[in-house]
Structure 1
């Protein structure tokens, strides 16, 4: 019996290690051993584009966003700007309509979703009205580099490419614990996506900036998000999702832990369904690197909350079996105690802050999973005020 528990303890310990250290390190090694060429681009490919912005009560940023995308460097006759208002109840719609009236030389229109069902539904409804060849999706609070559309389009260099994500850059990296910690995490994730993209395909994008061909657009259930669900869908259907980190978007990271916690809880509503969304992923002969990328980058991370719980519980049961388990239990106790103390006392130490941020992320995963289990997960979202 105890041998079985020990095996489980080491399996879940390995999953934690692999998600945090093992997989990122393995990609770095692969990148050194199997160097891939830089992303090929076709700048002659300039299809018609619709920039789609989903907005719910974004009166504080929507005018700046419209001014930003109006300055995009792309042939005017091939560019449309579409705002899908997810049942906004503030002055968002009025601001957009005034902007349209005052900028009639630009192809801008608004779609109003009558019922608030979340970002994905607002995208689904708006896309039904789009006839452009390419759709560029971007958040209301993300400001785009003037060449973002040219770069995204150029990355669709052959028919196998169905999805291209850009690079999100945080503009407030060192403001406080939340923005600094999220920026550090994001830097690592961008590096992993860059390697995955050059090998074959990424496993998720980001909502600030991504694009797909209109003919390849798929309407997902509103509880899901396109930026994370699309790469998986395309990869399982013999198409690739890649990253072009020359296509830039800029926004603020959450500047307080509450905003970041709520964002991560919302993101965690997909965890249970995404741990292993299809057994087909395990077919390494068909999906090649994608199998390795998804299991390492997604499955192991989506299991972090459960792996940590299991490691702690199994350690408590095994603590009298060996001095090793006394040491590992003591390590966990110190680790979580540091996070709790940081929660209640201000300690300006980078190492301690990262432990606290990591534990906050684990807790957000648990809360998100519990919302799913209890039927409280919703497709709607509340914007983080500190990111505006």
Structure 2
């Protein structure tokens, strides 16, 4: 029993760290698949930029200024925005700039996926750039997106999202570190073929590849994975740069993780038939990058229980001491501060939030609408 508990703890811990350490190491073993870019297909391709907004009064003016700079450089850039029932002046601010963008007004709260579908249906560009209302694009982004789509094998791309405000709290610091690791893993996936899904902050696809889907799924995940399903490459391009502010509040980030995880796993359930038809390499990457990561909180709990059981199996007093140390560690780590202990607690809390979101999805709960984080 003692050996079994120890082995169970080691196995659970291995599954916990696999998506972040072991999987990237394995990716280095696969053959490289370079992307050419350029050519005749990208230089003058019409492009549409789309985003959905809800109560973004704090960031919408900065977004409009960013669009103005993009339009000054690319007068032919079509920009479409969807307002999902804002009540804070977001809609008025966007409608005041008709020279920059066309605004589609929703009928109450319908959610981002609903809005993005309306925008994609109205888009005239052969390439559609998807972004968020609080995300700013580098002025070179449009040119670089055109360039990479010059490769006929490329159906879409993920941009390079750079987070701002990592020094404002431990939550933001850990969030920034997590995203830097995520960016590196996407780089490595792209070097072997395709990335397993894009983040909604900045990605682009050929409009002809836009799929139909229900309003309850994650539109960015669904749309970007359809590129892979259709036999094209979804790549990662570090010269397509966007900027976004990190969430600084622990409670805001926990709620955001729960919502995103619930929608992501619900999307996984919706896409299951197509996922099963992917190539063996892509299925390996998907399970490693997505599926195992969603259950990281479960592996964390199993590892803790196994090692505690191991301590109790060795000695009652050793088990009691291990429980006391665990309680003290959690108590100290839960206090906000820039310490390694606090960062570890933040990572664990993030995994638990993700697991809780997955459980909600398994139980049939979905999240169709969103509310911007107050601490962003």
CA–CA separation in structure 2 for the residues paired with 1:205 and 1:334: 40
Q: How does 1:106-117 map to 2 (within 5 A)?
A: 106=100, 108-117=101-110
CA–CA separation in structure 2 for the residues paired with 1:334 and 1:149: 53
8 Å CA contact 2:71–2:77 kept in 1: the answer is no
8 Å CA contact 2:33–2:191 kept in 1: the answer is yes
Out of 150, 161, 166, the position equivalent to 1:157 is: 150
SS of 2:122's equivalent in the other structure is coil
Task: Give 2:46's aligned residue.
Answer: 48
With 129-138 and 10-19 compared, the bigger mean Cα shift is at 10-19
8 Å CA contact 1:63–1:99 kept in 2: the answer is no
8 Å CA contact 1:312–1:332 kept in 2: the answer is no
1:281-322 deviation digits (Å, cap 9, x = unpaired): 567xx6143222212111210121222233344455555556
Task: Give 1:384's aligned residue.
Answer: 373
The structure-2 alpha-carbon separation of the partners of 1:263 and 1:232, relative to structure 1 and needing over 3 Å to count, comes to same
Structure 2 residue 256 is matched with structure 1 residue 263 = yes
Task: Give 2:294's aligned residue.
Answer: 302
Out of 306, 317, 341, the position equivalent to 1:352 is: 341
8 Å CA contact 2:205–2:227 kept in 1: the answer is no
- Superposition deviation, residue 273 in structure 1: 4.1
Structure 2 residue 244 is matched with structure 1 residue 233 = no
8 Å CA contact 1:42–1:154 kept in 2: the answer is yes
- Superposition deviation, residue 331 in structure 1: 7.5
Number of residue equivalences: 371
Q: How does 1:11-26 map to 2 (within 5 A)?
A: 11-26=11-26
1:317-373 deviation digits (Å, cap 9, x = unpaired): 5555568xx79x988985675343221x34432x21320111110221233234335
Task: Give 1:341's aligned residue.
Answer: 332
Task: Give 1:247's aligned residue.
Answer: 240
8 Å CA contact 2:210–2:226 kept in 1: the answer is no
Task: Give 1:97's aligned residue.
Answer: 95
With 164-173 and 368-377 compared, the bigger mean Cα shift is at 368-377
Q: How does 1:34-73 map to 2 (within 5 A)?
A: 34=31, 37=34, 39-42=35-38, 44=40, 45=42, 46-72=44-70
Task: Give 1:290's aligned residue.
Answer: 282
The structure-2 alpha-carbon separation of the partners of 1:120 and 1:332, relative to structure 1 and needing over 3 Å to count, comes to farther
| TM-score calculated relative to the size of structure 1 | 0.84
- Superposition deviation, residue 76 in structure 1: 4.2
The structure-2 alpha-carbon separation of the partners of 1:256 and 1:237, relative to structure 1 and needing over 3 Å to count, comes to same
The structure-2 alpha-carbon separation of the partners of 1:90 and 1:273, relative to structure 1 and needing over 3 Å to count, comes to closer
The structure-2 alpha-carbon separation of the partners of 1:211 and 1:280, relative to structure 1 and needing over 3 Å to count, comes to closer
8 Å CA contact 2:38–2:148 kept in 1: the answer is yes
The structure-2 alpha-carbon separation of the partners of 1:198 and 1:87, relative to structure 1 and needing over 3 Å to count, comes to same
- Superposition deviation, residue 168 in structure 1: 0.6
Question: Higher RCO, 1 or 2 (CA under 8 Å, sep at least 6)?
Answer: 2
Out of 144, 155, 163, the position equivalent to 2:137 is: 144
Q: Superposition RMSD on alpha carbons, in Å? A: 3.1
